[in-house]
Amino acid sequence: MARVLLFTVLVFLAAGALVGAATQPLSIMMTVGCVERDGRDRFILTRSTEPTALKERVPDEPPADTPLGGETITLIGTLGEFSVASHDGHKVWVKGLVNPGEPYRLLNVVSLTHLSPTCE
């Protein structure tokens, strides 16, 4: 009986630890880069900066001359809602959730702001 009780307690503790780990909030990340078609009806963000977590609820918009980086990220989500196709070749500021992916990380877009009509 003591073993059954101990086992039950351990199961509940393990389940509680898993639930606690699963409810950790994901950080909204932001990056600046260049929107490009990838040739397979998808869009990527090239020359993007390393994604960083938002530290403020409404961060200041970066200037149009923000330096670009060396990252490439695949954009996913409701891209039509953000008119991503109309930004092909443009420099943009993107916010979203970053997920692992191959060959590039994935960014589930929650916000896209136009910074420049060229990618310089």
pLDDT digits (tens, 9 = 90+) for 103-118: 899 999 999 999 999 9
Q: 41 and 11 in contact (C-beta within 8 Å)?
A: no
Verify cis geometry, omega within 30 degrees of 0, for the bond prior to 62.
no
Q: Other CB atoms closer than 10 Å to residue 72's CB: what's the count? A: 17
Q: Enumerate the domain spans of the chain.
A: 29-116
Architecture of domain 29-116: Beta Barrel (2.40)
- Predicted local distance difference test score (pLDDT) of residue 107: 95
3-class DSSP assignment, residue 57: coil
- Predicted local distance difference test score (pLDDT) of residue 10: 39
Q: What's the pTM value of the predicted model, to 2 decimals?
A: 0.76
Residues 25-75 have pLDDT tens digits of 778 999 999 999 988 889 999 999 999 998 877 788 999 999 999 999 999
- Predicted local distance difference test score (pLDDT) of residue 39: 85
Quote the CA–CA distance of 20 and 58 in Å, as a whole number.
27
3-class DSSP assignment, residue 82: helix
pLDDT(8) > 50: no
- Predicted local distance difference test score (pLDDT) of residue 23: 63
Q: Which of the pair, 82 or 25, is modelled with greater confidence?
A: 82
- Predicted local distance difference test score (pLDDT) of residue 44: 95
Residue 110 CB contacts under 8 Å (≥ 6 apart), including other chains: 28, 77, 95, 96, 97
